[in-house]
């Protein structure tokens, strides 16, 4: 039997809420995230627990058919991937921030500055549009520490509650994009699996409507 293959974040902010949506859709997944792959008992679905940043490539290659992923990841790494449905959770911003003590006037202040980030494409495109050239330091996590240790003058990262910025004495000065969890689709999805996707989307839409 054909099954639809869905990628879910392995660990992190999206993991729990992604599984909750499936559950609310009446789809029971057999084993937890300790295994990298699981199946549903009552819907033709296989679940793959993957790293966020890898998911766009899996979709592109057609190794998975669909994914629950943050829009911010698609903006950074998967502008070619189609969004079927916005899911209304895991809302966040991708923002530029500077030390609190710095007087900030405009985006032009970033000219020639060192920016630490895990979102190089997002920052580069944003600054390019504004005609600003900066020097990027690409790091994969704990980005907000960079100004404190002298690695960078500013940072670009996800802002959710704002507490990481606050704790590191940083202030948000430019919001580059707002993001939420979405249902993304592989460009290589087969006709058969597209039918399963439609069934799933039908359920998701009623779950979202009930959530209001």
Q: Which residues bind ligand PRP (CB under 6 A)?
A: 141-144, 157-164
Rg (CA), the chain: 19
Two structure tokens written together for 52 = 């966020």
* Least Cβ distance, residue 17 to ligand PRP (angstroms): 14
Q: Measured from the CB atom, is 95 or 186 closer to ligand PRP? A: 95
Q: Measured from the CB atom, is 40 or 118 closer to ligand PRP? A: 118
* Least Cβ distance, residue 141 to ligand PRP (angstroms): 3
Question: Distance (Å, rounded) from C-alpha 134 to C-alpha 108?
Answer: 10
Q: Measured from the CB atom, is 93 or 130 closer to ligand PRP? A: 93
- The pair phi, psi for residue 48, each rounded to 5°, is -115, 125
* Least Cβ distance, residue 61 to ligand PRP (angstroms): 24
Q: Measured from the CB atom, is 4 or 156 closer to ligand PRP? A: 156
Which H or E element spans position 73? helix 71-77
Residue partners of 140: CB distance under 8 A and separation at least 6: 118
**Closest residue to ligand PRP: CB criterion:** 141
Question: Distance (Å, rounded) from C-alpha 156 to C-alpha 121?
Answer: 11
CB atoms within 10 A of CB 163: 9
* Least Cβ distance, residue 52 to ligand PRP (angstroms): 9
- Whether the Cβ atoms of residue 82 and residue 197 lie closer than 8 Å to each other: no
Q: Are strands 45-50 and 4-9 parallel, antiparallel or unpaired?
A: parallel
* Least Cβ distance, residue 7 to ligand PRP (angstroms): 18
Q: Measured from the CB atom, is 127 or 159 closer to ligand PRP? A: 159
């Amino acid at each position: 039997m054909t099954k639809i293959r869905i990628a879910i974040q392995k660990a992190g902010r999206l993991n729990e809420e992604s599984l909750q949506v499936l559950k609310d859709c009446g789809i029971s997944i057999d084993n937890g995230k300790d295994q990298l792959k699981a199946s549903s008992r009552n819907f033709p679905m296989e679940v793959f627990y993957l790293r966020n940043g890898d998911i766009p490539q899996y979709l592109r290659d057609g190794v998975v058919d669909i994914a629950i992923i943050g829009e911010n990841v698609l903006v950074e790494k998967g502008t070619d991937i189609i969004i079927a449905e916005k899911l209304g959770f895991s809302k966040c911003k991708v923002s530029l921030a500077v030390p609190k003590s710095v007087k900030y006037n405009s985006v032009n202040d970033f000219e020639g500055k060192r920016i630490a980030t895990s979102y190089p494409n997002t920052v580069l495109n944003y600054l390019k549009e504004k005609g600003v050239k900066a020097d990027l330091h690409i790091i994969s996590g704990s980005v907000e520490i960079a100004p404190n240790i002298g690695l960078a003058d500013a940072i670009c990262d996800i802002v959710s509650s704002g507490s990481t910025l606050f704790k590191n004495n940083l202030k948000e000065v430019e919001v580059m994009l707002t993001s939420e969890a979405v249902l993304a689709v592989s460009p290589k999805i087969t006709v058969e699996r597209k039918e399963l996707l439609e069934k799933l989307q039908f359920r998701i839409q009623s779950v979202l409507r009930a959530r209001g």
